């Protein structure tokens, strides 16, 4: 019958300088179920190395290791992790408890990796702690416990997965003699239950408790007090919980650990997030501002209609002479209106005048327009009605005043039907228009809409106009109409002393300009996000280095590499997601402030851009968290525990 543990010609060597350092040399050893074995030897003789191989934390360089009849020397890391969960409970000299967790939490850790559900592992951990005299200390953290108490917590942790073999490497080495004796008594009790106990010590008194003492010197067994006998072992159900639930449980644990780790380093986590916060806040704000300004400009343009052309005297906007160019005249409009490709023409003229009504005086812009202007420009009347074609033909003095003018001249009474003076001309109010422009200054200036014929005859005395707004016939293409208008007017004037603005062109120019700007600024914001991501990676790498001991412990109690990777990846993603949420909140707050400080336009936040921001912060966490998480998962358990 084979023993529980059967080593044949096991060697372990480490590369050292040119050659190799042989730490274990040709070890043959059988340990049976239920034995109590003490391994003694001088410091550096290879005791811990042997224990690590026995506990499947390390692999031998050569030789064969049969555990319960199965060869494990050549297994991969996932198999070794499973064997550690199934067979072994480790008790370390320095306890290796997780400082942020309570006694109960520490004992639960191996059961999480085994896939036990939350209630049963809690009950089991509490029962074990109670049995070891720690029932009153379940919620104490390691820092609040004495050495002997901490070691009892670590023994409870070794038992929570029903380990058949307890591996204790100098378990009393850091304890006073009384606590040490208590720990040894516990180990004896566990052995009496049928568990195999393998104890490393350099204290002969401790070794004397064992029924079998093996002495090691320079990596070889130099004496063995007894031959292996297999006692009838304890039978423990050895099935691992399978299915999705344990996976979710491990994820939940990884999540909880990430929160604990962030809580333990609040300032550092916040500073790490700051890069993400700034990056996300600026991306979301820039996109929202770009969209807001684009929408506003488009709104203003579409109020002019889609199939209209504006004709101005001069060469282009900013032509200083265009104010004095008087070649664009009313007759041009009349002639153009007769062309087949033109639906209608509305001339615009304007003149600044002083208004007088009773004792009130104010300055206003008299805008001479056609009856169609209100439709074309999308002006809505709040009271009364607009003038019509016959008013324009008859040059009546009936006008529409805007809301600002009404407030100025007729603060209390009904303005309709009232007559006021504009310059030397009396005008009668027939309608009130809502304020149209929202631009700076636009909201305070006074505007009066009068028939253009009236403005020309009464104020300007000439037939030149400041612009013609031309509506193209429905079935004619804009570009063709524009070319025809250009040809027609050039012929009439003898030269091209005017310029035409096409609303579609303005719209597409503005759209592409704002899009280019948005992309440019967003690119800068994305760079800041990348910098933020690198910050996250940097801190996560530091965090992995700081927590090497914790990683080693988790591996020793059976965590898979994937568990370790998930834990750090979740931490990175969590940092980024919290940062992303804060960034979006900051951007929304910025938009709120922007609105309240009376800006002419409002940022527009699309759900899509917010979703994209959250997705990209999650992505940053995954991408920049991957390297640190992979580094953590690739650590060697023994090296990590030793750190
Ligand atoms: P013990 O536990 O008996 O005091 P160890 O098993 O820890 O001894 O170590 C045995 C020898 O192996 C020591 O000489 C030590 O320096 C060497 N050793 C242990 N781990 C490593 C390693 N990772 N790399 C190189 N040498 C090591
Ligand atoms: Mg040692």
Residues 6+ apart with CB under 8 A from 453: 368, 392, 393, 395
Q: Is 47 in the pocket of ligand 1 (CB under 6 A)?
A: yes
Residue 499: HSE in the Cβ half-sphere, 13 Å Cα cutoff = 9
Q: Please indicate, yes or no, if residue 504 is contained in any of the structural domains.
A: no
Is residue 14 within 6 Å of ligand 1 at its C-beta? yes
Average pLDDT over residues 297-304: 68
C-alpha span between 129 and 131 (Å, rounded): 5
The answer to whether position 558 is within a domain reads: yes
Q: How confident is the model at residue 248 (pLDDT cuts 50, 70, 90)?
A: confident
Residues 611 and 634 in one domain: yes
Pick 317 or 199 by higher pLDDT: 199
What does the pLDDT read at residue 437?
A: 53
For residue 255, tell me if it sits in a domain. Answer: no
Residues 516, 490: one domain?
Answer: no
Residues 54 and 163 in one domain: yes
**DSSP result, 133-147:** T-GGGTT--GGGS-H
Q: What is the DSSP secondary-structure string of 7-46?
A: EEEEEEEEEETTEEEEEEEEEEEEE-TT-EEEEEE-TTSS
Helix 561-596 / helix 548-556 crossing angle, nearest 10 deg: 130
Percent of the chain's residues with pLDDT above 70: 92
Q: Is the CB of 41 under 6 A from ligand 1?
A: yes
Predicted confidence (pLDDT) at residue 600 exceeds the cutoff of 80? no
Output the CA 317–ligand 2 centroid distance in Å.
87
In a shared domain, residues 292 and 352:
no
Tokens of 187: 């180990």
Q: What confidence category does residue 183 fall into, taking pLDDT thresholds of 50, 70 and 90?
A: very high
**Strand-by-strand arrangement of the 220-224 sheet:** 88-92, 165-169, 196-200, 36-41, 212-217, 220-224
Any idea which of 190-199, 220-229, 259-268, 356-365 has the lowest mean pLDDT?
220-229
Q: Ligand 1 pocket: which of 14, 54, 173, 216 to mutate (most atoms <8 Å of CB)?
A: 14
Using CA atoms, how far apart are residues 483 and 344, in angstroms rounded to an integer?
A: 17
Whether residue 637 contacts residue 558, with contact meaning beta carbons closer than 8 Å, is answered with no
Q: Reply yes or no on whether the pLDDT at 400 is more than 50.
A: yes
The answer, yes or no, to whether any atom of ligand 1 lies below 6 A from the CB of 46, is: yes
Whether the predicted pLDDT of 441 surpasses 70: no
Do 395 and 484 lie in a common domain?
yes
* Res 245: pLDDT: 60
The band of 305, judged by pLDDT with boundaries at 50, 70 and 90, is low
Per-residue pLDDT, averaged over 136-140, amounts to 95
**Highest mean pLDDT range out of 250-259, 339-348, 485-494, 495-504?**
485-494
Q: Is 133 in the pocket of ligand 1 (CB under 6 A)?
A: no
Sheet with 19-31, side-by-side order of all strands: 19-31, 5-16, 62-67, 70-71
User: What DSSP designation does 329 have?
Assistant: B
- Please state, as a whole number, how many other Cβ atoms lie within 10 Å of the Cβ of residue 439: 11
How far away, in angstroms, is 438 Cα from ligand 1 center? 79
Confidence at residue 302, expressed as pLDDT on a 0 to 100 scale: 65
Model confidence pLDDT, tens digit, residues 254-292? 888 888 888 888 888 898 899 899 989 988 888 888 888
**For position 321, what pLDDT does the model report?**
59
Residues with CB under 5 A from ligand 2 (ion): 48
CA of 176 to the centre of ligand 1 (A): 26
On whether both 471 and 550 belong to a single domain, the answer is no
Asked whether residue 409 is domain-assigned, the answer is: yes
Q: Which atom of ligand 1 is nearest to the CA of 49?
A: 6
Please name the residue whose Cα sits nearest to atom 16 of ligand 1.
44
% of the chain with per-residue pLDDT over 90: 48
Closest residue CA from atom 27 of ligand 1: 14
In order of 81, 85, 376, 547, the CA distances from 57 in angstroms are 8, 11, 82, 18
Domain match, 13 and 155 both? yes
CA torsion angle for 605, 610, 613, 619 (degrees, to 10)?
Answer: -160
Q: Which residue's alpha carbon is at the smallest distance from atom 6 of ligand 1? A: 46
Question: How high is the pLDDT of residue 295?
Answer: 81
CB under 8 Å to 554, separation ≥6 — which residues? 109, 113, 563, 564, 567
Identify whether residues 450 and 551 lie together within a single domain. Answer: no
- State the average pLDDT over residues 449-469: 86
Confidence of residue 319 (pLDDT cuts 50, 70, 90): low
β-strand partners of 464: 329
282 lines ligand 1 (CB under 6 A): no
Report d(CA 392, CA 124) in Å as an integer: 95
Task: Tell me what pLDDT residue 246 has.
Answer: 66
Instruction: Label residue 364 left, alpha or beta by phi (over 0 means left) and psi (-120 to 50 means alpha).
Output: beta
pLDDT score for 618: 92
What six digits make up the tokens of 147? Answer: 């050495």
Q: At residue 103, what are phi and psi to the nearest 5 degrees? A: -55, -45
- Please tell me whether residues 515 and 403 are part of one structural domain: no
**Interatomic CA distance for residues 631 and 620, integer angstroms:** 17
What is the helix (H) or strand (E) element at residue 252, kind and residue range? helix 244-264
Looking only at the bridges linking them, the beta strands covering 360-369 and 447-451 are parallel
Q: How many angstroms is it from 10 CA to the middle of ligand 1?
A: 15
Which ligand has an atom closest to residue 643 CA? 1
| Cα 216 to Cα 225: distance, rounded to the nearest angstrom | 12
Q: What is the pLDDT of residues 64-121, one digit of tens each?
A: 999 998 999 888 899 999 999 999 999 999 999 999 899 999 999 999 898 888 899 9
Tally of structural domains, the chain = 3
Q: Is the pLDDT of residue 46 over 90?
A: yes
Does 127 share its domain with 45?
yes
Distance 401 CA to ligand 2 centre (A): 96
Q: Is residue 10's pLDDT more than 80? A: yes
Q: Give the count of beta carbons closer than 10 Å to the beta carbon of residue 1.
A: 5
Among 201, 218, 244, which residue terminates a domain?
Answer: 244
Whether the CB-CB separation of 399 and 448 falls below 8 Å is answered with: yes
Residues 6+ apart with CB under 8 A from 134: 103, 149, 152, 153, 156
Task: For the chain, report the end-to-end CA distance as a whole number of angstroms.
Answer: 40
CA proximity to 435, closest of 449, 423, 425, 424:
449
Atom of ligand 1 nearest to the CA of 51: 6
What CATH number corresponds to the domain at position 57? 3.40.50.300
Q: Which of 445, 466, 496 is the last residue of a domain?
A: 496
pLDDT at 239 over 60: no
Residues 6+ apart with CB under 8 A from 434: 379, 380, 381, 382, 402, 403
Q: Are residues 79 and 219 in the same domain?
A: yes
Q: Ligand 1 atom 11: the closest Cα is on which residue? A: 44
User: Last residue of a domain, which of 440, 472, 496?
Assistant: 496
Q: What would the mean pLDDT of 536-542 be, rounded to a whole number?
A: 92
> Whose Cα sits closest to atom 15 in ligand 1?
44
Domain of residue 441 covers 326-496
Residue 124 lies in a domain: yes
Whether residue 303 has pLDDT greater than 80:
no
To test the pocket of ligand 1, the residue of 16, 24, 46 to mutate (highest count of ligand atoms within 8 Å of its CB) is 46
23 ligand 1 Cβ < 6 A: yes
Question: Which atom of ligand 1 is closest in space to residue 15's alpha carbon?
Answer: 25
Query: 323 falls in which pLDDT band (50, 70, 90)?
Result: low
352 within ligand 1 shell (Cβ under 6 A): no
Segment 342-358 mean pLDDT: 86
Residue 426 Cβ contacting ligand 1 at under 6 Å: no
Q: Is residue 304 part of a domain?
A: no
Are the C-beta atoms of 155 and 134 separated by less than 8 Å? no
User: What is the model's pLDDT at position 439?
Assistant: 44
* Co-location of 518 and 489 in the same domain: no
Tell me, in angstroms, the distance from the centre of ligand 1 to residue 24's CA. Answer: 9
What is the CB-side half-sphere exposure of residue 479 using CA atoms within 13 A? 1
Decide: 389 in ligand 1 pocket, CB within 6 A.
no
**Average pLDDT score over the chain:** 87
Whether 303 is in a domain gets the answer no
Q: CA torsion, points 401, 405, 409, 412, in degrees to nearest 10?
A: 90
Of the candidates 221, 243, 294, which has an alpha carbon nearest to the alpha carbon of residue 115? 243
Q: Is 49 in the pocket of ligand 1 (CB under 6 A)?
A: yes
- Residue 334 CA, ligand 2 centroid: distance in Å: 105
Beta bridge partners of 349: 368
In a domain, 314, yes or no: no
Q: Which ligand is nearest to the CA of 46?
A: 1
């Amino acid at each position: 019958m084979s023993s529980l543990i059967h080593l044949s010609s096991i060697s372990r060597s480490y590369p050292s300088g040119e050659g190799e350092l042989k730490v274990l040399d040709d070890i043959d050893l059988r340990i049976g179920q239920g034995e109590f074995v003490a391994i003694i030897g001088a410091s550096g003789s290879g005791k811990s190395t042997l224990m690590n191989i026995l506990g499947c934390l390390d692999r031998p360089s050569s030789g064969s290791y049969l555990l319960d009849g199965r060869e494990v020397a050549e297994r991969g890391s996932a198999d070794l992790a499973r064997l550690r969960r199934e067979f072994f409970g480790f008790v370390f000299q320095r306890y290796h408890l997780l400082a942020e967790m309570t006694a109960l939490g520490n004992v639960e850790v191996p059961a999480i990796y085994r896939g036990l559900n939350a209630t049963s592992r809690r009950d089991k951990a509490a029962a074990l702690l109670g049995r070891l005299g720690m029932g009153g200390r379940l919620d104490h953290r390691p820092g609040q416990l004495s050495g002997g108490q901490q070691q009892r917590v670590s023994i409870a942790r070794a038992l929570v997965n029903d380990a058949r073999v307890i591996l204790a490497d100098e378990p009393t080495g850091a304890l006073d003699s009384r606590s040490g004796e208590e720990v040894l008594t516990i180990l004896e009790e566990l052995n009496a239950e049928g568990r195999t106990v393998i104890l490393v010590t350099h204290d002969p008194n401790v070794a004397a408790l064992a029924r079998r003492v093996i002495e090691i010197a320079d990596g070889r067994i130099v004496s063995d007090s007894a031959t292996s006998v297999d006692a009838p072992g304890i039978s423990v159900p050895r099935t691992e919980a399978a299915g999705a639930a344990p996976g979710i449980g491990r994820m939940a644990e990884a999540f909880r650990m990430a929160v604990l780790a962030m809580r333990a380093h609040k300032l550092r986590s916040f500073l790490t997030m700051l890069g993400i916060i700034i990056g996300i806040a600026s991306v979301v704000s820039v996109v929202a501002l770009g969209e807001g300004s684009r929408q506003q400009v488009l709104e203003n343009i579409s109020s002019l209609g889609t199939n209209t052309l504006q004709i101005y005297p001069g060469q282009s906007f900013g032509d200083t002479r265009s104010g004095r160019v008087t070649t664009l005249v009313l007759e041009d409009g009349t002639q153009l209106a007769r062309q087949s490709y033109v639906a209608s023409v509305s001339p615009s003229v304007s003149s600044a005048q002083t208004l007088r009504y009773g004792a009130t005086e104010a300055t206003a812009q008299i805008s001479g327009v056609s009856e169609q202007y209100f439709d074309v420009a999308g002006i809505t009347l709040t009271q009364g009605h607009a003038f019509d074609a016959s008013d324009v033909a008859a040059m009546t003095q009936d006008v529409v005043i805007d809301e600002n003018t009404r407030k100025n001249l007729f603060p209390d009474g009904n303005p309709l039907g009232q007559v006021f003076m504009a310059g030397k001309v009396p005008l009668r109010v027939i309608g009130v228009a809502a304020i149209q422009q929202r631009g700076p200054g636009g909201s305070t200036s006074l505007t009066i809409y009068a028939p253009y014929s009236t403005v020309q005859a009464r104020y300007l005395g000439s037939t030149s106009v400041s612009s013609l707004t031309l509506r193209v016939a429905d079935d004619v293409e804009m570009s063709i109409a524009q070319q025809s208008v250009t040809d027609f007017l050039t012929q009439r004037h003898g030269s091209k002393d005017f310029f035409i603005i096409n609303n579609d062109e303005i719209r597409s120019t503005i759209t592409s300009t704002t899009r280019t700007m948005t992309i440019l600024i967003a690119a800068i914001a994305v760079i800041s996000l990348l910098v933020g991501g690198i910050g996250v990676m940097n801190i996560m790498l530091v965090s992995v280095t700081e927590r090497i001991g914790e990683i080693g412990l988790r591996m020793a109690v059976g965590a898979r590499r994937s568990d370790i990777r998930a834990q750090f990846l979740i931490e990175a993603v969590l940092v980024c997601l919290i940062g992303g949420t804060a960034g979006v909140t900051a951007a929304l707050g910025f938009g709120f402030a922007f609105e309240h400080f009376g800006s002419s336009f409002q940022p527009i936040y699309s759900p899509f851009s917010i979703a994209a921001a959250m997705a990209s912060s999650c992505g940053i966490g995954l991408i920049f968290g991957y390297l640190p998480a992979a580094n953590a998962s690739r650590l060697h358990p023994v090296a990590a525990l030793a750190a």
